[in-house]
Structure 1
């Protein structure tokens, strides 16, 4: 009786596996995926990051540049320090802030998109050391830019274009600010929690405190 029961269970299991193998390709093919590659106009198959703007355009940061996609055609942009400089940099990321401004960054520089000139321009006074590379950027609720590199955490004041080193000797991999003015930095030494005080300064619990300027 037991042998017969085991045989019946095995038979049902094999039948289910057989049906799964038959139905799986149809299920995969039914998914509404469409591959967009260099054959369709994408500048590079290696895409680092993407955003969606209010006009419905999708922006891709690829290894070869920034691509703007309207669902049918691509417009390509490059990151170069100046119009005269033919050397272009490899984008590492792209983001859009609450003011609908689009920023992109390479290992060494940060760029802002100009709707007037339809191009990306380098953000001045972001002077990093040659040994470090930018890993992440984001904006806090006051509109200032935070930069995480392989060696530092920086805050860039967008009003007076000053760069402040907040944390040294730490690799910052990701940054996030909430609307409640809490900041989070994922680093090589754990997660740092930044809390804005009443005087609009941020306090890093148990580590450092620093004053921000509007």
Structure 2
């Protein structure tokens, strides 16, 4: 009986010791750093509608007034332009999605675009056409 209690005590002490060592690897909340991005940092708008991270580590920020790519150091803006066929369809970005191949898809109020990281341009894959019906 005493040997069973002694064995159980040793097992419990070993278990407690292993649990204590696992918790020592936990990340402390003080290890996390967050920087607030503002218009002064280059953000195109303060109203953020969606955020995504691509496979290269860029943070993509969808706003009411354009798409922003944050490298951790600087922000690059992508804005719609009627003169540039490779720009996003609209400045109002409603959704972002990175697929399993690492391709960024951008949903806007005027259509969907796919980002080509080699050319740093967008290909519009679907454009919403507004139809105005004649007044009756």
Note if 1:83 corresponds to 2:94. Answer: no
Equivalent residue for 1:71? 72
Give, in angstroms, the shift of residue 116 of structure 1: 2.5
Contact kept in structure 1, 2:88 and 2:113, CA below 8 Å: no
Cα distance in structure 1, aligned partners of 2:107 and 2:84: 17
Which one has a bigger Cα radius of gyration? 2
Contact kept in structure 2, 1:82 and 1:121, CA below 8 Å: no
Equivalent residue for 2:98? 96
Structure 2 unpaired stretches of 5+: 1-31, 132-136
Cα distance in structure 2, aligned partners of 1:46 and 1:130: 25
Equivalent residue for 1:113? 115
Structure-2 change in CA distance of 1:117 and 1:46 (3 Å)? same
Structure-2 change in CA distance of 1:40 and 1:78 (3 Å)? same
With structure 1 as the length reference, what TM-score do the two structures score?
0.40
Equivalent residue for 1:145? none
Identify the structure with bigger relative contact order (alpha carbons < 8 Å, sequence gap 6+).
Answer: 2
Equivalent residue for 2:46? 45
Structure-2 change in CA distance of 1:55 and 1:75 (3 Å)? same
Give, in angstroms, the shift of residue 33 of structure 1: 4.9
Give, in angstroms, the shift of residue 109 of structure 1: 0.6
Structure-2 change in CA distance of 1:127 and 1:115 (3 Å)? closer
Structure 1 unpaired stretches of 5+: 1-30, 132-214
Give, in angstroms, the shift of residue 85 of structure 1: 9.2
Number of residue-to-residue matches in the alignment: 99
Give, in angstroms, the shift of residue 78 of structure 1: 2.1
Contact kept in structure 1, 2:87 and 2:121, CA below 8 Å: no
